[in-house]
Structure 1
Amino acid sequence: MTNKLAPEVQTAYKKALIARDNSYSPYSHFKVGAAVKFKDCDDVFVGCNVENASYGATICAERNAIWSGVAAVGKRDMEYLIVVADQDEPVPPCALCLQVISEFYDPKMPIYLGNLNGIQKCYLLEEILPVPFNSFVA
């Protein structure tokens, strides 16, 4: 699937792959990298999972990438997200990350899931999270 993607997405995948290598995951040994592209911004922001002995202090790669982008350019709508892990079957964002993603909600936003061999799947946000919590908030 990777070869069929826009060069910009392929480059962002490579950045997520590099971020994955920087993962600090001494407890799970499960390294994850992510890259996020915001609309109206040329930069791609990356993150990796960073674990802590106090598991609640752990941060996922997706949230790490999103927070990095927000810190650099402020809150913006997301154009796409890429998640990379070393699994035959690519892994989607966890429920907590999906909730965070919903703050930057565009139901048609693609979420690319990859492994070390490239991007394997693509889902729209609305497919993974059809009813976000923020749709209930007045």
Structure 2
Amino acid sequence: MPDLNALIDAARDAMGNAYAPYSNFSVGAAILGPSGQIFAGANVENAAYPQGQCAETSAIGAMILGGDRAIREIVVMGGKPGDGLLCTPCGGCRQRLREFAAPNTPIHVCGPEGLRRTFTLAELLPHSFGPDNLDF
């Protein structure tokens, strides 16, 4: 099973391949699926701003394509080395993560130098609406 450093490295590599010509703010994400595979993604901006795609969304798409349907843990990486800022998932990505992650799923927020802080999904998205709300 890959360790946290492998996830951080995958997110760092993805961040290096981000397409962010408008904001100049590159983000990478790496998901560990239940199969043990790592799925990475980068943000992809678009001149029509709302048409861009977040790194977490790209990584989720790669996970689904790879055959996994759950997130065991995720790394989200953004910012400049040593700036100390937290590049947490945006609101839309928090909801996307909720679709595939349990409330206790670790979300590791990193800068290029490594781990800055770990949250659970429940900490970032308390009282969330998810698939279990639709069980009849």
TM-score over 0.5 (shorter chain): yes
**Cα 1:7–1:43 shift into 2, 3 Å:** closer
Structure 1 runs of 4+ aligned residues shifted over 3 Å read 135-138
**Equivalents in 2 of 1:15, 1:72: separation in Å?**
16
Counterpart in the other structure of 1:43: 37
Q: What corresponds to 2:71 in structure 1?
A: 78
Query: What are the ranges of 5 or more consecutive residues in structure 2 without an aligned counterpart?
Result: none
1:126 is matched with 122
Match of 1:21 among 16, 28, 36: 16
For 2:8 and 2:92, locate their aligned partners in 1 and report how far apart those are by CA, in whole Å: 22
Find the residue that maps to 1:14 and give its secondary structure: helix
Matched, 1:59 2:53: yes
How high is the TM-score relative to the length of structure 2? 0.90
Report what 2:86 is aligned to. Answer: 90
1:93 deviation in Å?
0.2
Quote how far apart the aligned CAs of 1:46 are. Answer: 0.3
Q: How many residues align?
A: 131
Cα deviation per residue 1:21-46 (whole Å; 9 max; x = unaligned)? 1010011100000000112x121000
**Identity rate, percent:** 34
Give me the CA root mean square deviation: 1.6
Rounded to whole Å, the distance in 2 between the matches of 1:19 and 1:103 is 22
Structure 1 SS opposite 2:115: strand
CA distance in structure 2 between the aligned counterparts of 1:51 and 1:16, rounded to whole angstroms: 17
Question: 1:101 aligned to 80, 97, 100, which one?
Answer: 97
Give, in whole Å, the separation in 2 of the partners of 1:100 and 1:42.
Answer: 20
In structure 1, distance between residues paired with 2:103 and 2:124: 10
SS of 1:73's equivalent?
A: coil
Contact 2:22 2:45 in 1 (8 A): yes
The answer to whether the aligner puts 1:9 opposite 2:4 as a matched pair is: yes
Q: How far apart, CA to CA, are the structure 2 residues paired with 1:44 and 1:38?
A: 6
Give me the TM-score of the superposition, normalised by structure 1: 0.88
